[in-house]
Each structure stands twice: as C-alpha cells, then as structure tokens.
Amino acid sequence: MTATTLPLSAAHGAVDENGTYARVTWRLVPLLFICYVAAYLDRVNVGFAKLQMLSDLKFSESIYGLGAGIFFIGYFLFEVPSNLLLHKLGARRWIARILISWGLISGCMMFVQSPTTFYVLRFLLGLAEAGFFPGIILYLTYWYPSTRRSQVTSLFMTGIPMAGVIGGPLSGWILTSFNGVAGLAGWKWLFVIEALPSIALGFVVLYFLDDRIADARWLNADQKRLLQRNIDHEGSQVEDHSALGAFRNAKVWVLCAAYFGFIMGLYGIGFWLPSLIKASGIASPATIGWLVAIPYSAAVVSMILTSRHSDRTGERRWHIAIPVLVGAAALVVSTFVPQTPLWAIVTLTVATMGILTGLSQFWVLPPAFLGGAAAAAGIALINSVGNLAGFASPFIVGWIKDATGSTNNGLYVIAASLIVGDAIVLAIAQRNARRGAA
C-alpha cells in the first residue's frame, strides 16, 4: 500500500497519533501564540496611544485613521514576496527577521512628531510585519492535516484577543504610570515598552523553531514518518501546487473578497474599541484598559470551543457564517442601546466574539485546495488583499466621525462588510459541497 492510499489513522499503528500531535502542539503553538500576541499588540497599540497622542500632537480623527490604516499598504506590497521567501528560506530565520525588524520600527513610533512621520513609520511597520500571519498559517500546514487544522489555527489566533486581554490593562497602565517619566509622554513609553518583547522573541524563534518535520530532533523516527505521511497524503489531493496557480485560481480571489469584509470588522473593533468604551462615559485610560480585556477574554473561549466543534463535526461554513453574522448584528445593536458602559461592554463583547471566531475558522478553507508554493502565495494573497480593509476600516470610521460627530454610520458600514463576506463564504462553500469538495 502506498503513502497516498494508506488511511491516515492507520499510519504506523505503533505510534500514538494523538499523542504525537499533542507533542507537536505543545512544542510549536505556545511560542507562535506568544509571537502573535506581540505582533497584534504592536499593530493596534496605536489605538491606545491615540487616547493621549491626538491631543499632544494636535492630530484630527482623519489623520489618525489614515495613519492607523496606512500600515496595511506596506503590508499589502510585501505580503506575497515575504511568504514565498519564508517557503524558500525556512520559517525559523524568516519569522525571526520579521519579529526583530517590526519591533525596532514599532519602538521608533515614540519619535512621531508630525503626520508625515506618523504615516512613514506606520507604512514601514507594515513592510516589516508583512508575511508573519500568512507565514504561520502556511507553517502550520507543514505539520497538521486539515482534519486537525481548525483547532490549532484557532489556538494560534487566540493571540488576537489575548493581545487585548494582556495589552488592554498593560497599555492603560503604561499610559497612566509612565506619563511624564524622563520627560516623555505616556504614549511614547507605550511604543517603546511594547516593542521590546517582539525583538526578544525574534531571537527565541531563531533558536527554538524547526523549519519542517524532518528537522525536529524532539521527535523520534516513527513519529516523523507518521506526521510526514499524513501531510503527503493530503498534499496529493489539493488542486494547485505552483505559486502562479494560486493567482489563476478563482477561489483564491473569491476568498480575498470575503476576507476583506471580515477584516473590516476585525479592525473596526481593534482600532476603535478603546475609543468606543471611552465614549460610553469612561475617562480613565487604566479603566478602559481593563474593560477592553472583557470582550477579548470572551472571544478566546468562543474561538476555542467553536474550533473544537468544527474539527469534531467536519463542518466548516456555518462555523464561519453564524459567528460573523452575530458579530455584525451586535455592532448594529450597539448604536441603538443606551450609551452606557454596561451596554457598550455587552454589545462590543458579542461583536468581538463573533468576528474573531468566524475569522479563525476562515483559515481552514484555503489550505484545503492549495499546497506547496501555491499555498504560500495563495494564503499570502488572501491575507494581503483582505488586510487592505485594515487601511479602509479605520480611515472610513475616522472620516465619518469627523464629518458627523458620531461613529454609528461607520459601524453600519463595517457590519454590512461582514455580512457581504459571510454571503461569499456561504456561496463558495455551497458550491464546493455540491461538487463534493467541501
């Protein structure tokens, strides 16, 4: 019996398959998770810095929105090349490079004095970080078959809400406690202090991470054969393996559109959550920091439970669609309920849970039909095009707030984008199901 026909569960019966994957998960996921916490924290801590920075530098909401979003222009330009370089050079060196370079640039945000320096540093931060998230999604396909990927992807992506759980109180504390230390504003200390973990983690990755299964000295030969057999079996069933094939694949472009809608929601929450809580009547940055942790804590639980159920049942589309729809509805409801801290936290918690849960489930879809260089290019392409919404979302909300004095219409636009993304995922999943491919 060949490697491509051997049932996955039958490969090397003497090896405990579940135990082997548990060993892989404990080795890889905690480190990748911590890196993603640092990544997301350095990307969106500008939302907390905004609480002081705008008044200090006399920036308008539109200037802030453009600066927050311009990160994603640099991100877009270098995303696909970065992921192809990771596939060619290996995850260990390339992810380490990403972490160290973005940490240095994030720390330099303390030197912002004008809109121009704000825009330039945010653009360079996007260039530096490009390839990190799709690189990790690609890296996980080197180790896990699709039947196990939903849960492990969600565990990694809980780094987004955990950045809020950790970063909210931390950012609020830094803004309050360090304001005026050594003559520097609290927002300057925020960028410096929160950049240090990324730089340190770059050196940890360089020492600790293995590029592929064959490099893992902490696995025995039978365990390596089991893992590689499962990956090879799945690789024989994907549609595309070449980088050019990913660009020609219509499904990739359709998923780009869906992901764009989802990212509109993600960064609508990420960049504006502190401000929305402040608008409900909370003035203290430290208190806002602790309250921001509530929606993100709930999202961690929701992401893990949903991913487990998705892997157990094998169903994907409704595990994406239902949470996102709930998140969009909660954003709309948040504009109608009384503007009190209680209602703000309740509605924004439901919105955060729904958006992040659906987003984490989304990344099970691309590797189901892409492999090799096509997976590297396709995953990066979907992420880069989708993340252009990270430019559009804060800018649109900021522009609407400047024009109307309210963020409500901006939240309606974000909710509509989530619903459109949901409809696209349901349509493509239904089409694949009719063909027996999903």
pLDDT of residue 3: 39
**Exposed, middle or buried by CB within 10 Å (0-12, 13-18, 19+), for 159?**
buried
pLDDT of residue 407: 73
Closest CA to 222 of 20, 434, 427, 7: 20
Using 50 as the pLDDT threshold, list the residues of the chain that sit under it.
1-12, 436-438
pLDDT of residue 311: 84
pLDDT of residue 10: 43
Torsion of CA 103, 104, 105, 108, to 10 degrees: 120
Closest CA to 127 of 87, 197, 83, 71: 71
Q: Mind listing the domains of the chain with CATH numbers?
A: 13-434 (1.20.1250.20)
Is the overall model pTM greater than 0.85, yes or no?
no
- Neighbouring CB atoms inside 10 A of 212's CB total 16
Question: If you write DSSP's letter for every residue of 158-225 in order, what string do you get?
Answer: THHHHHHHHHHHHHHHHHHHSTTGGG--HHHHHHHHHHHHHHHHHHHHHHH--SSGGG-TTS-HHHHH
Question: If you write DSSP's letter for every residue of 129-147 in order, what string do you get?
Answer: HTTHHHHHHHHHHTT--HH
Answer for the pair 95, 138: CB distance below 8 angstroms, yes or no.
no
pLDDT of residue 9: 43
Answer for the pair 243, 377: CB distance below 8 angstroms, yes or no.
yes
**Mapping DSSP to helix (H, G, I), strand (E, B) and coil, where does residue 110 land?**
helix
**Mapping DSSP to helix (H, G, I), strand (E, B) and coil, where does residue 370 land?**
strand
